[in-house]
């Protein structure tokens, strides 16, 4: 049954814990962490009381900047039980992007770890908030971020100016379970519960406001299409900061009483080891992840016979990769989900019962409770089946809007409640959708959505850059790579490495152009508009990317 109203994320967890108290909810094999649904709910409630002790009110924005650590999952459900809105921060963000998010989102509390790979989160937040070094925890008064008062560190250190996770839990002992129950019972399913930043065509990301109804409805629909139940164990190597991880992953498990088996960061060997050790029945991933897992399986054998299903999504799914995953990884019921953050995120999905031909060649049909149509972008009129047009969706899953951006919201959702995705597609006679292109000027690299305008705005700050045009070019590994065509100011010279070095540490690594070409000008239309499709064609020819350009996707 799909709930389209009347249930919050907190209610969903209560339902799972009541129906399956002894079933495993959350497992981290490397940490020797195993929580039953009863223990998981108790742990979430302890964190929720800690949040209330920090003074966090219903509707308040709190952010989490961390890889897939256990505390992330606890925060997801604990914040929902208190009525807070969890703002998810991309783990690849550098100071330039973090500063914008903290200013725009009105976050009052930031949770963070020490960092990932070469990213030092403690150093970055201290650079942005020099006041941290001299303030008491909970008393931050940052010039750049007047709303931000609490920073909570997840880890073994005790950085100056920050609470530790354990200190927050200890403070929560002062809040009674009855106070938490009263808070949870006061919440409305139409309240915001999550905010995720998606890159914007205006050059700056937009905060997508998602409600309990949005996320719970989507999780229940996804669980139904996956045929998920308490006997399922889902390996989750996709990041929690995207809807793929925290809706199609954790929330879908709770919606069905299944077991969450996350990986803190993606590693194909660790994925296969986890599937074998934990006898996972399902595995999620973007195409790039499955490609690298298949490469590992060519060299080394792992027992993946327990696998049954999972979702491939996040970027166009190559048909040949889908077939190999079915054959080599035993994922006979693997499915594709299509959507976007603004749709919580699922819009269409193939079903486990669909023939393999349908599951590799389409992105499925509408999820339960969701309407989908294809319209002429010029007129807005629905086109006949078999004709290309813009994909539009309507239903419980459509976002509340973009935070503090009413004009952008109105541009995305029309007066009749239809979300205009900016994606082009064809719907067949049976309602199955095939993605054919994009109206939006967006690059999808390994599951990360990148708007060229954001990179262009940043590169304009380079003192030698006169003009820049960024496009996506085909890639066998990532689906697309970023390429920048740069016009330099008169008398200036530069190298691609110099431009890349300028980007390092300031924008996320996945946004740094893989290819850079210095050009005297750009192909334009009669009225002077740059023809980016011609730049893409030029790049395919000059870089010899013909094989990648020919890959068929669903």
Per-residue model confidence as pLDDT tens for the chain (554 residues): 344 457 999 999 999 999 999 999 999 999 999 999 999 999 999 999 999 999 999 999 999 999 999 999 999 999 999 999 999 999 999 998 999 999 999 999 999 999 998 899 999 999 999 999 999 999 999 999 999 999 999 999 999 999 999 999 999 999 999 999 999 999 999 999 999 998 654 557 899 999 999 999 999 999 999 999 999 999 999 999 999 999 999 999 999 999 999 999 999 999 999 999 999 999 999 988 998 999 999 999 999 999 999 999 987 888 888 999 999 999 999 999 999 999 999 999 999 999 998 998 899 999 999 999 999 988 999 999 999 999 999 999 999 999 999 999 999 999 999 999 999 899 999 999 998 877 777 899 998 988 888 898 899 899 999 889 999 999 999 999 999 999 999 899 999 999 999 999 999 999 999 999 999 999 876 656 688 888 999 999 999 999 999 988 88
Q: Write the burial class of residue 8 (CB in 10 Å: 0-12 exposed, 13-18 middle, 19+ buried).
A: buried
- CATH code of 531's domain: 3.30.300.30
What range does the domain containing 500 cover?
A: 445-549
The answer to whether residue 306 is domain-embedded is yes
What domain count does the chain have? 2
Same domain, 317 and 456: no
Cβ proximity of 415 and 451 under 8 Å: no
DSSP string over 349-380: E--TTS-HHHHHH---EEPTTEEEEEE-TTT-
- Of 24, 36, 38, 86, the C-alpha closest to 61 is 86
The answer to whether residue 129 is domain-embedded is yes
Beta bridge partners of 310: 334
Q: Which of 303, 325, 347 is the last residue of a domain?
A: 325
The answer to whether residue 309 is domain-embedded is yes
- Token readout for 97 is 């992007």
3-state helix, strand, coil split of the chain in percent (to 5) is 35, 25, 40
CA 258 to the chain's CA centroid:
21
Angle between helices 70-82 and 37-53 (to 10 degrees): 70
Q: Which of 294, 325, 356 is the last residue of a domain?
A: 325
- CA distances (Å), 349 to each of 174, 317, 363, 389, in order? 45, 13, 6, 19
Q: Three-state SS string across 474-510, please? A: EECCCEEEEEEEEEECCCCCCCHHHHHHHHCCCCCHH
Q: Write the burial class of residue 284 (CB in 10 Å: 0-12 exposed, 13-18 middle, 19+ buried).
A: buried
d(Cα 419, Cα 395) in Å, to the nearest integer? 9
DSSP string over 442-463: -EEETTEEE-HHHHHHHHTTST
Cβ proximity of 170 and 367 under 8 Å: no
d(Cα 94, Cα 458) in Å, to the nearest integer? 13
The answer to whether residue 425 is domain-embedded is no
- Token readout for 232 is 């399922």
Same domain, 313 and 460: no
- Token readout for 223 is 């669980």
What contacts 100, CB < 8 A, 6 or more positions away?
204, 205
d(Cα 152, Cα 167) in Å, to the nearest integer? 9
d(Cα 236, Cα 232) in Å, to the nearest integer? 13
The answer to whether residue 365 is domain-embedded is no
Q: Which of 325, 346, 380 is the last residue of a domain?
A: 325
Q: In what order do the strands lie in the sheet with 433-438?
A: 370-375, 388-395, 419-427, 433-438
The answer to whether residue 380 is domain-embedded is no
Same domain, 319 and 453: no
């Amino acid at each position: 049954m799909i709930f389209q109203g009347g249930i919050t994320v907190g209610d969903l967890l209560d339902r799972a814990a009541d129906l399956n108290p002894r079933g495993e909810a959350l497992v981290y094999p490397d940490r020797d962490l195993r929580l039953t649904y009863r223990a998981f709910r108790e742990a979430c409630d302890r964190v929720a009381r800690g949040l209330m002790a920090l003074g966090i009110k219903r509707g308040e924005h709190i952010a989490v900047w961390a890889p897939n650590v256990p505390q992330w999952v606890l925060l997801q459900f604990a914040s929902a039980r208190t009525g807070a809105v969890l703002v998810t921060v991309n783990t690849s963000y550098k100071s330039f992007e973090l500063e914008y998010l903290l200013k725009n989102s009105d976050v009052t509390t930031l949770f963070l770890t020490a960092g990932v790979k070469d990213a030092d989160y403690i150093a970055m937040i201290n650079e942005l908030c020099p006041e941290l070094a001299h303030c008491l925890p909970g008393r931050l008064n940052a010039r750049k971020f007047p709303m931000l008062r609490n920073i909570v560190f997840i880890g073994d250190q005790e950085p100056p100016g920050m609470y530790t996770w354990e200190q927050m839990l200890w403070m929560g002992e002062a809040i009674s379970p009855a106070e938490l129950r009263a808070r949870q019972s006061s919440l409305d399913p139409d309240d915001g519960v999550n905010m995720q930043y998606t890159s914007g065509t205006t050059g700056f990301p937009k905060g997508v406001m998602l409600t309990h109804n949005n996320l719970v409805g989507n999780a229940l629909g996804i669980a139904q299409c996956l045929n998920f139940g308490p006997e399922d164990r889902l390996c989750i190597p996709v990041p929690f900061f995207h809807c793929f991880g925290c809706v199609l992953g954790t929330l879908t498990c709770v919606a069905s009483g299944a077991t969450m088996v996350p990986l803190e960061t993606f590693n194909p060997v660790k994925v296969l080891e986890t599937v074998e050790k934990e006898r996972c029945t399902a595995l999620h991933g973007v195409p790039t992840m499955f490609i690298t897992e298949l490469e590992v399986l060519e060299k080394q054998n792992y027992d993946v016979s327990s696998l049954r299903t999972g979702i491939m999504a996040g970027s166009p799914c190559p048909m040949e990769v889908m077939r190999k995953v079915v054959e080599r990884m035993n994922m006979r019921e693997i499915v594709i989900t299509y959507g976007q953050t603004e749709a919580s995120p699922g819009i269409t999905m193939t079903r486990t019962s669909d023939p393999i031909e349908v599951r590799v060649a389409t992105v499925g049909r509408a999820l339960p409770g969701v309407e989908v149509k294809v319209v002429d972008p010029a007129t807005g009129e629905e086109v006949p089946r078999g004709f290309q047009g813009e994909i539009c969706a309507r239903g419980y899953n459509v976002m509340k809007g973009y935070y503090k951006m009413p004009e952008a919201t109105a541009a995305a959702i029309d007066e009749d409640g239809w979300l205009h995705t900016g994606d082009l597609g064809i719907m067949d006679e049976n309602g199955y959708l095939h993605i054919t292109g994009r109206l939006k000027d967006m690059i999808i690299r390994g599951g990360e959505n990148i708007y060229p305008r954001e990179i262009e705005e940043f590169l304009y700050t380079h003192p030698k850059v006169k003009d820049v045009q960024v496009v996506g070019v085909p890639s066998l590994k990532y689906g697309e790579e970023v390429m920048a065509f740069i016009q330099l100011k008169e008398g200036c010279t530069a190298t691609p490495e110099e431009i890349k070095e300028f980007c390092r540490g300031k924008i996320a690594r996945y946004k740094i152009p893989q290819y850079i070409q210095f050009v005297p000008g750009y192909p334009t239309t009669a009225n002077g508009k740059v023809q980016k499709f011609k730049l893409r064609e030029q790049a395919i020819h000059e870089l010899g990317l013909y094989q990648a350009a020919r890959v068929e996707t669903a």
